[in-house]
Structure 1
Amino acid sequence: MSHTEQEPKGATMTSSVVNTINTIIGSGMLVLPYAFKTDSIFLGTIILFFAAAANSIGLIIQGMTTKFVHRGTATFFTICTLTYPRLSTLFDIAIFMQCFGVAISYIVLTGDLMPLVFSISDWSETQNRLFYILISTVITVPLCFLHKLDSLRYTSVVSLIAIAYLAILIYAQFGYSLSQNFQNIPPENIGPVFYFTPEGIKPVFKTLGVIVLAYTCPNQYSIVTELQNPTIHRINRIVYLSMGVITAIFFSVSFFGYMTFGNALGGNIILMYGDNIYISLGRLLLVLMVLLSFPLMLYPARSSFNNIYFAFKDYLWHKWHQFNSRETAPLLQNNTASGNSDNTENCEVFAEDKLGEKAVPFPEFRFRWITVVLLVLSYLIAISLDSFELILSVVGATGGVLISYVLPGCYGYKLLCTEDPHLLKMLDKHGGEDKFSKLFKSTILRKCCIGLIIWGLFSMTICLYSSLFE
């Protein structure tokens, strides 16, 4: 093996699992107990585990699609260009809106929570909020200029510590309240517990989006790209380990949080507890967690923005080139009219081959100015908004569902059990030993892809309906 063919170094399994968990688990974890309130424990558990299984299949399919392109080039854009080239830019716009919207919500949440932890008495509520939003740049800005997700593995560990503390805090509060026969909780914060009776169809539909979107992982392609020896087996192990830990945390937090307050539970469980040093520390760690998660959301948003920029730049270049060609060589039109469809097809295949061999260009200068633009925009929007729930829920219902279900389902349906000679050639060229995996010939997995598409479109409709028509 030559020097250029040596296996490049990359992220370890541990750091990949940590980054996956940290990307998925965010502040939405603290809203999941409310889903048990509206759904009941039984139905909430079923939806929670079903969403985990569906997202796991989506992540596995994303990992498999990386075997159809050159290592390190797999993104939603490149895979979409290989499978559905005319929709690639549209999907990237949706992904950008989702990730950028979530990133902004993290800044808004910081401005809302920090004054509860430590309020500067001489300042107004608006001044306190503005101060903490601006001071958060000390943490977020340096991290956003890191080029690789694996560079964030240590900040991800800090975020996981914060997640663990918040989960333990919820467990401990339930245990203490149980030992006190719940006499330590104000009567207005105690309600009945329903094991099998949901509040109604509309409330269930409303919290369905909370559970579905809680599992969204927009960084799967980046995680696989940076992984050492990214075989199908290792990629699937990351999915199993990550989703196992995440589902255990989601279920336990939902169950014990709901059992503590019953149907008197509000939206964010961390706001239900009284003020003491442990709760204040929990809120501080929550702020730290979302600030450290901000770069993880900006990372795919920046990649999608670059893909959109590249697509429009490439489109304008081709339009200019075609215009000049018509001006300089009008006599060629008659000679090529009969073979126009073949030429178009060849151009599309060439484009697919090119993207299969080479990632979308992302030079250092463009990386920096896109990062600066996105940072400035995110902070300006966060400062100007008092609440971002409606916009976040709408972009989450579209971009989040596309990322988790619709796109992986469409990719898998196109690539699995394929008889397309071009796609088979790409798998044979880039798949390595994994090209012999039975998963690529699995009719069951291909049917699961159809199920993902249907479930995704259903979830998108429900989430949008519950967000826009409360």
Structure 2
Amino acid sequence: MLQSSKRNGVTLQGKLLRSQLPFKKYNMKETETGSSDLTPLLADADSLENQSPRGLASVSGAVFNICTTMVGAGIMSIPATVKVLGIIPGFAVMFMIAVLVDITVEFLLRYTQSGKSTTYAGLMAESFGSLGSLAVQICVMVTNLGCLIIYLIIIEALLFLLGDVLCGNESGGTLHLGVLQEWFGIQWWNSPAYVILFVVLFVMLPLVLLPHMNSLRHSSAISILLAVVFIAISSAMAIYAFWKGKTQNMRLLPDFANQVSIFDLFTTVPVLVTGFGFHVNIHPIRSELSRPSDMSYAVRISLAICIAIYFSIGFFGYMLFGESIMSDILVNFDQNSDSAIGQLVNNTVRLSYAMHLALVFPVINFSLRTNIDELLFAKKPVLAKDKSRFTILTCLLLALTYTIAIVIPNIWYFFQFLGSTTVVCLSFIFPGAIVLRDVHGISRRKDKVMAILVIIMAILTSMIAIATNLWTVG
């Protein structure tokens, strides 16, 4: 009788105990002494696993979301960075940053696996307490909110008025109308406030209201496809120009003799660091995979894809426009749209880029919303399970982003400043600090050496880039 009561590893005592606990699901495990342990199947209330049930996401879905996090507004500045660096150093710097990103992501994944936290802020809290958690949350809020504002301003410039988008200036003193005004003339309904409001309400709002990152995989796939379309257009134009003998001269190395100083090289680093920064979405994406170990695989695939995208647009954009390339390549397309075909290509590029940014927006918004909720409502139920709090917080963030985007005229130096500070902290300094702290005792000597090198490189390049930008402004 006693043996039959222990079938499947569950004792009679365990059954009686379970019957008195109706509000949780329990996993009954028999110990070596024959007694039963009660282990909750549900994760803790502050765990991302409660928000994102395991098994929802595939590796391909994770790859799309990671790539979309990386390939944002910075893609249009890549050709200008290649012009400053030269083709060979440009590719070398891209590859080096991608390798460093892979290393720091591996740091975060390893300590996430060893610890109990399932968020970036929680991981820092394990190593540095509440101050560490707060530092991550502030950096995420500054970085992501800044990016979202930038995206709306760029979309406004694409659809309403196109100057030098990333510098906030009119190109050559000439007014360049947006797509809608070119098609329909200047009307009250295609003014910036109304155009952006339409995009926010009918494109972004339905996407940001999705509770799980995996739900964005299809929109992320379309976003990456639009980036590939832009590369295809640029490469086709560059190859055609090369066939006709009209391509510009390209430099393999920096032009120190005439235009470029050694300090100018460091100003390109923030753009590339921002272009490879996706650490804020590591934990939300990982939490939805059926096997967390697949995250490393997805990260490496995503980095390879983004290196290919960035180098392609940098090479063909530089090949097409040469030394005349602007800090935002869209201005070059606009300046070469005199013919009917040129105008068609220009409008296609601008519309596809605007849609690309609109689809990147909800992916960046996801980690921003999660970190704000984790900061303000740490003791509340998980955000995805509280529909009213989820909806209110989502709408407030969207309204705040829209309001600020309408009144901020200049974003280029703000964008560089972000890449020089908060993104660098999230991508390199914080992961390196976690390894050096080593609260779980799992770091090897080479890990700590690499962490020190990453932190030193990040701090030095950021300080030089900030100083150079401030000197240029002055």
Q: Calculate the TM-score normalised by the size of structure 1.
A: 0.78
Please state how far the C-alpha of 1:63 moved relative to its aligned partner.
1.6
Pick aligned residue for 2:70 from 24, 39, 61: 24
What residue in structure 1 maps to residue 363 of structure 2? Answer: 296
- Aligned equivalents of 2:217 and 2:225: distance in 1? 12
Which has the higher mean CA deviation after the structures are superposed, 31-40 or 6-15?
6-15
What's the C-alpha RMSD, in Å, of the aligned pairs? 2.6
Whether 1:384 aligns to 2:415 is: no
Whether 1:282 aligns to 2:284 is: no
Contact kept in structure 2, 1:171 and 1:256, CA below 8 Å? yes
What residue in structure 2 maps to residue 257 of structure 1? Answer: 317
Letter in 2 for 1:194: R
Alpha-carbon distance change, 180 to 74 in structure 1, aligned in 2, over 3 angstroms:
same
Pick aligned residue for 1:226 from 251, 272, 288: 288
Which runs of structure 2 are paired with 1:123-272 in the superposition (5 Å)?
123=186, 128-137=191-200, 138-182=202-246, 190=248, 192-198=249-255, 199-217=260-278, 218-231=280-293, 234-272=294-332
Contact kept in structure 2, 1:60 and 1:239, CA below 8 Å? no
- Aligned equivalents of 1:391 and 1:297: distance in 2? 17
- Aligned equivalents of 2:451 and 2:382: distance in 1? 26
Please state how far the C-alpha of 1:155 moved relative to its aligned partner.
0.4
- Aligned equivalents of 1:205 and 1:47: distance in 2? 11
Whether 1:49 aligns to 2:113 is: no
Please state how far the C-alpha of 1:365 moved relative to its aligned partner.
3.1
Which has the higher mean CA deviation after the structures are superposed, 141-150 or 385-394?
385-394
- Aligned equivalents of 1:446 and 1:244: distance in 2? 26
What residue in structure 2 maps to residue 410 of structure 1? Answer: 433
Letter in 2 for 1:224: R
- Aligned equivalents of 2:146 and 2:443: distance in 1? 37
Please state how far the C-alpha of 1:125 moved relative to its aligned partner.
9.7
What residue in structure 1 maps to residue 372 of structure 2? Answer: 305
- Aligned equivalents of 1:227 and 1:361: distance in 2? 17
Give the number of the structure whose residues are more often helix, by fraction.
1
SS at match of 1:226: coil
- Aligned equivalents of 2:95 and 2:437: distance in 1? 27
Contact kept in structure 1, 2:54 and 2:289, CA below 8 Å? no
What residue in structure 2 maps to residue 97 of structure 1? Answer: 142
Please state how far the C-alpha of 1:127 moved relative to its aligned partner.
5.4
- Aligned equivalents of 1:405 and 1:445: distance in 2? 13
Please state how far the C-alpha of 1:368 moved relative to its aligned partner.
2.3
Please state how far the C-alpha of 1:467 moved relative to its aligned partner.
3.7
Please state how far the C-alpha of 1:361 moved relative to its aligned partner.
9.8
SS at match of 2:86: helix
Letter in 2 for 1:410: A
Alpha-carbon distance change, 111 to 125 in structure 1, aligned in 2, over 3 angstroms:
farther
- Aligned equivalents of 2:330 and 2:237: distance in 1? 11
Please state how far the C-alpha of 1:413 moved relative to its aligned partner.
2.4
Percent identity of the aligned residues? 22
Letter in 2 for 1:32: I
- Aligned equivalents of 1:300 and 1:362: distance in 2? 16
Letter in 2 for 1:207: T
Alpha-carbon distance change, 459 to 75 in structure 1, aligned in 2, over 3 angstroms:
farther
- Aligned equivalents of 1:62 and 1:177: distance in 2? 45
Contact kept in structure 2, 1:95 and 1:304, CA below 8 Å? yes
- Aligned equivalents of 1:123 and 1:260: distance in 2? 32
Q: Calculate the TM-score normalised by the size of structure 2.
A: 0.77
Letter in 2 for 1:258: Y
- Aligned equivalents of 1:305 and 1:462: distance in 2? 31
Letter in 1 for 2:410: S
Letter in 1 for 2:466: L
- Aligned equivalents of 1:362 and 1:397: distance in 2? 36
Contact kept in structure 2, 1:106 and 1:290, CA below 8 Å? yes
SS at match of 1:153: helix
- Aligned equivalents of 2:443 and 2:413: distance in 1? 42
Contact kept in structure 2, 1:162 and 1:289, CA below 8 Å? yes
Q: Which has the higher contact order (CA 8 A, sep 6+)?
A: 1
* Contiguous gaps of at least 5 residues in structure 1: 184-189, 315-357, 425-439
Alpha-carbon distance change, 124 to 361 in structure 1, aligned in 2, over 3 angstroms:
closer
Contact kept in structure 2, 1:302 and 1:370, CA below 8 Å? yes
What residue in structure 2 maps to residue 450 of structure 1? Answer: 452
Deviations 1:228-278 (A, max 9, x none): 1112xx222112111111111111211121122221111122321233323
Contact kept in structure 2, 1:174 and 1:257, CA below 8 Å? yes
What residue in structure 2 maps to residue 465 of structure 1? Answer: 467
Contact kept in structure 2, 1:26 and 1:290, CA below 8 Å? yes
SS at match of 1:118: helix
- Aligned equivalents of 1:150 and 1:247: distance in 2? 23
SS at match of 2:191: helix
Please state how far the C-alpha of 1:33 moved relative to its aligned partner.
0.9
What residue in structure 1 maps to residue 180 of structure 2? Answer: 118
- Aligned equivalents of 1:57 and 1:46: distance in 2? 17
- Aligned equivalents of 1:463 and 1:123: distance in 2? 40
Letter in 2 for 1:221: H
Contact kept in structure 1, 2:273 and 2:419, CA below 8 Å? no
- Aligned equivalents of 1:361 and 1:154: distance in 2? 20
Alpha-carbon distance change, 469 to 299 in structure 1, aligned in 2, over 3 angstroms:
farther
